[in-house]
Each structure stands twice: as structure tokens, then as C-alpha cells.
Amino acid sequence: MADDCLFCKIISGDIPSNKVYEDDDVYAFHDINPAAPTHILIIPKKHLNDITVAKEEDAELIGKLVLRANKIADKADLTENGFRYVINTGLDGGQTVFHIHLHLLGGKSMSWPPG
């Protein structure tokens, strides 16, 4: 838990969220400003600023994050038509919240590449 981290405060319940899923290691909630009909953020409960600081010891956690996201995508009925995962990282990546989060975006056809 990092004291000044928005997503740590969401995990602890100090800031409310629209929760989708929770277990011992992973928390998922609806993005407050959705960029697609389905926009869910999947985060590790462990505070890590961004994906670049993940270490070998975090390999299982990062794997779990993606596997849980697959289940969340399936439950949101996105598996058949497809969806997009995004991990914005750093300044050029457009990261605004410095606690690793996997964006799950779906429910519409998306263009590529991003702007």
C-alpha cells in the first residue's frame, strides 16, 4: 500500500469503486471515464508503480492478472467478438495513475494504431 496512491485507496475501500472482481491478489473495477462500452481496470493489490518495475518475483502475480482478466472478459461476454488489453506506461505511454493497471476494453470495434 502506497499512502498517496489512488488505486491503493480504491483497494482499501477508502475511495469507492464499482467493483467487478476481487481475490487475495487482484482487484478489478469499472473505469470512471469509460473509453469503450466495457472498460474495466484489473490491478494487482501489491503496489507497483508501473510494469517496468515488476521483478522476477512478480512473474506469478502478473500472470495471474492476465488470467483473471481473461475470466472477467469472458464474464462480460467479450470473448467471442474480442477485446483489447492496454498497459499504459510512463509519459509517452499516457500513464496517469502510477499503480499497474491492465485496461480491458471491449464492446465495440477498435482501430489501430492508437493516436
Number of residues that bind ligand AMP (CB under 6 A): 12
Whether residue 5 contacts residue 99, with contact meaning beta carbons closer than 8 Å, is answered with: yes
Q: Which of 26, 2, 30, 25 is nearest to 14 (CA)?
A: 2
Indicate which residues carry an active-site annotation: 101
Stretch that binds ligand AMP, among 28-36, 52-60, 64-72, 105-113 (CB under 6 A): 28-36
Instruction: Name 84's bridge partners.
Output: 105
Binding mask 91-110 for ligand AMP (x = CB under 6 A): ---xxxx-------------
- Residue 99 CB neighbour total at 10 angstroms: 22
| Chain positions contacting ligand AMP, by CB under 6 A | 6, 15, 17, 31-33, 41, 88, 94-97
